[in-house]
């Protein structure tokens, strides 16, 4: 599943189509395609893992799910969920969720919880997690209402960098560790963005899908932890388990 930084890269890749008129909208998405045709794209936005194509009075919310993809000025050998054609060029989305929503996304989304947004508010995140003492850190980092854009790779790497065991309870974390966790969630997301754009992301993974801990030189533990049962890779030696 693409994480927040990857959606920001998509947004940047499509800037040439901002202000352009959609001449044709086709695909197997169950939305009112005719409503999109002849409409001008007002803006592209990203909120966490959501990609938004904004028109006057409505917008498209696109979620690439686990296996979604897109193609710019080319097509893949399968039916697109949505294909937008312009006077010069096209955008195609595959295997994704698409919804047409009336209104202004600025009125619907809280940009202060998006780890990649200029409006990101670390203090707000800290206030929220203080109210969740019995939640595991592996669950909270994936909570899009708190850390929008953080996905499973970022979760694993941030916990390793912070030396926090994924099953640690929030209420047991020292205040200093709690602040460090929040800071790393944002800073690592920007590192992810930089490495992804340079096609070197995997080279920088320290714990995710690794067999040996680079700090302790012992086998990495893997398990499907938390409420979402997502793959979690951690070192039982250098990642401390905080519990109440």
Q: Output the pTM of the full model.
A: 0.93
Mean pLDDT of 169-178: 96
Domain coverage including residue 73: 4-108
Domain boundary among 59, 83, 108: 108
Q: Are residues 117 and 213 in the same domain?
A: yes
Q: Residues 103, 116: one domain?
A: no
**pLDDT given for residue 65 in this prediction:** 93
- In this structure, the answer to whether residues 132 and 207 fall within a common structural domain is yes
140 and 86 in a common domain: no
What residue has token string 């916990």?
Answer: 159
Categorize the per-residue pLDDT at 158 as very low, low, confident or very high, splitting at 50, 70 and 90.
very high
pLDDT at 209 over 90: yes
Parallel, antiparallel, or unpaired for β 90-94 and 221-225?
Answer: unpaired
Both 170 and 206 in a single domain?
yes
What integer is the mean pLDDT of 26-35? Answer: 96
**Coil, helix or strand for 43?**
strand
pLDDT at 124: 97
Within a domain: 170: yes
Mean pLDDT of 3-28: 97
Whether 239 maps to a domain, the answer reads no
Beta bridge partners of 136: 169
Per-residue pLDDT at 198 exceeds 90: yes
166 near 232, Cβ under 8 Å? yes
């Amino acid at each position: 599943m693409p994480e927040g930084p990857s959606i920001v890269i998509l947004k940047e890749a499509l800037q040439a189509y901002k202000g352009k008129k959609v001449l044709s909208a086709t695909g197997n998405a169950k939305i009112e395609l005719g409503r999109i045709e002849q409409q001008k794209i007002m803006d592209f936005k990203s909120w966490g893992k959501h990609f938004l194509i904004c028109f006057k009075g409505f917008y498209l919310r696109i979620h690439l799910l686990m296996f979604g993809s897109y193609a710019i000025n080319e097509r893949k050998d399968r039916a697109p969920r949505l294909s937008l054609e312009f006077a010069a060029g096209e955008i195609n989305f595959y295997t994704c969720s698409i919804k047409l929503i009336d209104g202004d996304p600025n009125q619907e989304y809280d940009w202060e919880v998006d780890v990649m947004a200029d409006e990101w508010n670390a203090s707000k995140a800290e206030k929220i997690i203080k109210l969740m003492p019995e939640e595991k850190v592996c669950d909270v980092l994936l909570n899009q209402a708190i850390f929008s854009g953080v996905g499973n790779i970022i979760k694993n790497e941030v916990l390793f960098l912070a030396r926090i065991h994924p099953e640690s309870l929030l209420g047991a974390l020292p205040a200093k560790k709690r602040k460090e966790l929040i800071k790393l969630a944002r800073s690592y997301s920007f590192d992810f963005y930089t490495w992804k754009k340079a096609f070197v992301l995997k080279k920088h993974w320290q714990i995710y899908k690794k067999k040996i801990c680079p700090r302790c030189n012992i086998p990495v533990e893997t398990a499907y932890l938390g409420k979402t049962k997502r793959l979690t890779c951690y070192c039982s030696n250098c990642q401390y388990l905080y519990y109440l």
